[in-house]
Every structure is written in C-alpha cells, then in structure tokens.
Amino acid sequence: GSWLAENGRIQFNNTTVQTGSLQLVSGGLSISNSSFAATNIDADLASIISVYGSIELERLSFAMQDGSTSWKWLNNPELVLTSGIESNASNLTTCSSLEVGGKDLGLDPTAHEGNADGFSLANFYLPKLTIGPNAKAYLEDVFDNAVDGVMPDALYIGTLEFVDDSGLLNLNGLNLYFRNLIGNVGQIVDFAVTAPGDFNGDGVLAVDDVDQLAHSIRESNFDMRMDFDDDHTLTTSDLDYWVRDVANTFFGDANLDGEFNSSDLILVFQSNQYEDGIPRNSSWETGDWNGDGEFDTADLIKAFQENGYETGRRATAATVPEPEGSLILFVSMLTACQMVFGKRLKHELKTIRHAKLPTQHLK
C-alpha cells in the first residue's frame, strides 16, 4: 500500500508498520518507539520527519537533503537498509541508495573515519546506520548539499553496523565517516555504480568488460560486480551469464554485435593467434571465448555447441535444436578457415568429427 500526508502528519507510536511508498506534502512523519518499514519516501521541502525508533528501507533511493526536508533524530534512532536480499549483488541499481547530505569536514576520507569534532557541524548526522542481512546498499549524491567548489558532500554516522558478513556498503566514490563500526571494514567497498556487466563504467557492454571478467576468473580476483550467481566466487558460470543473459549474445560473437556469424570467424583467424604457442595472449576479440586466455579448439567447440551460428540475434529464451546440423556446419567452417588462412587444423577436424556436441536449453 501507500501513505500520503498532505498538510498533516502521520504518527506511529509503539507499533510496527510496513508499507510501500510514503509521500509527504507539507506534511510530517513521526515515529516514536516504533519500527517503520517502507520502499519509498517522497518528502517535499516543507515536510518534517521525526524519528524516535527506526526506519527500515528496502530497495529505496533515499534522499537526505540539506536545507530541505527537516530530519530530527531523537534518542539514538537508526536507519536500516535491507535491500539486495533478493536482488543480484552485481546489479546495484536495484539496491537501496542513501543520499549523502553533509559537508565533508573529515581529515582523512580514505580511512573512512573523519574528525569527530566535525560531526556536530555536519549538515546531516545519522546516529546509526544498519546494513541488514545479506543487504547491498550504496551512497549517492544527486543533490548538491555542500558548498560548491569548497566542500564535497559526505555522510556522517555514529555507528555503522553490518548484521552479517554478507552485507556491503558501496561508497560509490563518495565519503563516509563513522565513530564506531560493528562488522568488517572490508564490507565497505568503493566502486562506481554502473549497469550490470559494464565493469569499466563507459556505458557500453564491450570486449574490455568480458576480458576483465575472464581475467578475474583466471586470477581468482573476486569482484562482487562479476559474481552474477551470487556464490561469492568467480567461475565460468559467471562468464556464461555475462554472455547469454547480460550481453544477450552467443559465444563466438567476437565483435559483440549481437550475432555469431562469418565476420566473427574472419576476425579471430586474422588475428593469427590460433594455437600460436604464446601463453594467454588471446582475448575475446581474438578467439578466447572460454576465458582461459588461449584461442584453440576448445573455444570453437564452445561457440558452435550453442547452435547460434548465422541465426541472427539471440532470443530471450529458446531451445537449441539437435546438434548434428551445427556439427556439420562447424566442420565445414573449419575446413574453410584452413583453406583461407592456411591453418593446420586437420587434427582438430578429426577430433571434432568424433565429438558429441550436447543439446542445451538456453536461458
């Protein structure tokens, strides 16, 4: 449901309330010895929110604006963010965000602990912020609350608590200061919030992104943005998800134009990296489609076993036909590549003719 306070006030005393959205138009919200859970709060400049208890927000873009909505925190209340429990950790756009509302008065932003004397001078001071079980949240700075060109925005917290070791708070390039920490400082991360799979933040899904994922898998460099299956480790299943579900394309689509066709094969064989004996010198664009850093037969099998060759763009969900036709086409294409590029693929052709390409159901 939803709540609206227009020229009036909503007050909760000694109770627990759970709702969807709350809108305040020249209105007020008073929470006293209560727990208030909501998915969205929209308060105009003339509204006042008084908290004597706790506010719990799930998947919410939660703005705290200096000089606008008046926030009154009484008797050490707390703000609880519980987003990300059902959402994929890599897609932080679905997680709760917290608008930074105070001037940056800290001495050492990189340490995440500022000058305690500055807390009382900050535009916004939150006595306690709790990151709920398995919750992922991030800071944002949509409104310019600080002094232009003088002080950047920052969030000041008395106590920051992580309920369990799965919760994360992403600074998103902003500054956070706290007096007390309950949890692990490693649960405070800092990277730009971007679209899922766009690891370099350039706004597009490109070869650099899939190469970065493959490298992290090979080197066991964990990055929560890449953990699509949320198993707290990076494996080839995360690469499968990026290709099929994020980029919505096929293994073999070397130029990432959304299709696997002859232009991709020409591109990779012109790179002259097929079985070249140079360790891990290949990328997605030069034929490394299984993420091991090499361009070899395993990559060709990986590409053709999905039967996406010359079928156009990938459908949202489709059943792959029986593999025999694709296997014949696969061998034919390898033969053509041998003739055109002078590659010695006879052994590979013999191996592939006897290989059984499995039928798969695509996501």
Q: Residue 31 contacts by C-beta under 8 Å, 6 or more apart in sequence?
A: 11, 12, 50, 51, 52, 53, 54, 55, 77
Residues forming beta bridges with residue 130, ordered by sequence position:
80, 161
Token pair belonging to 315: 């459908």
Q: What does the pLDDT read at residue 332?
A: 55
Q: How far, in Å, are 44, 112, 140, 189 from residue 108 at the CA level?
A: 33, 7, 20, 16
The pLDDT tens digits for 38-75 are 666 776 666 666 666 666 655 444 544 443 445 555 55
Residue 111: pLDDT over 50: no
Residue 262: pLDDT over 50: yes
DSSP state of 340: H
Q: What does the pLDDT read at residue 273?
A: 95
Q: What does the pLDDT read at residue 77?
A: 56
Q: Is-contact 119 113, C-beta < 8 A?
A: no
Q: What does the pLDDT read at residue 94?
A: 47
Which of 33, 51, 49 is CA-nearest to residue 41?
A: 49
Q: Is-contact 97 60, C-beta < 8 A?
A: yes
Kindly state the greatest CA–CA separation across the chain: 81
Sign of the dihedral through C-alpha 343, 347, 348, 354? positive
Q: Residue 104 contacts by C-beta under 8 Å, 6 or more apart in sequence?
A: 114, 146, 151, 152, 153, 154, 175
* Mean pLDDT of the residues in the chain: 71
Of the listed ranges 110-114, 146-150, 208-212, 242-246, the one predicted with least confidence: 110-114
How large is the average pLDDT for residues 345-359?
46
**Domain residue ranges in the chain:** 2-189, 248-362
Of the listed ranges 21-25, 290-294, 354-358, the one predicted with least confidence: 354-358
Q: What does the pLDDT read at residue 296?
A: 94
Residue 183: pLDDT over 80: yes
Q: pLDDT category, 28, cuts 50, 70, 90?
A: confident
Residue 113: pLDDT over 50: no
Q: Is-contact 90 97, C-beta < 8 A?
A: no
Q: pLDDT category, 293, cuts 50, 70, 90?
A: very high
Please state whether beta strands 78-81 and 48-57 pair in parallel, antiparallel, or not at all (unpaired). Answer: parallel
**Buried b or exposed e, range 266-294, using 16+ CB within 10 angstroms:** eebbebebbeeeeeeebbbbbbbbbbbbb
How large is the average pLDDT for residues 239-255?
95
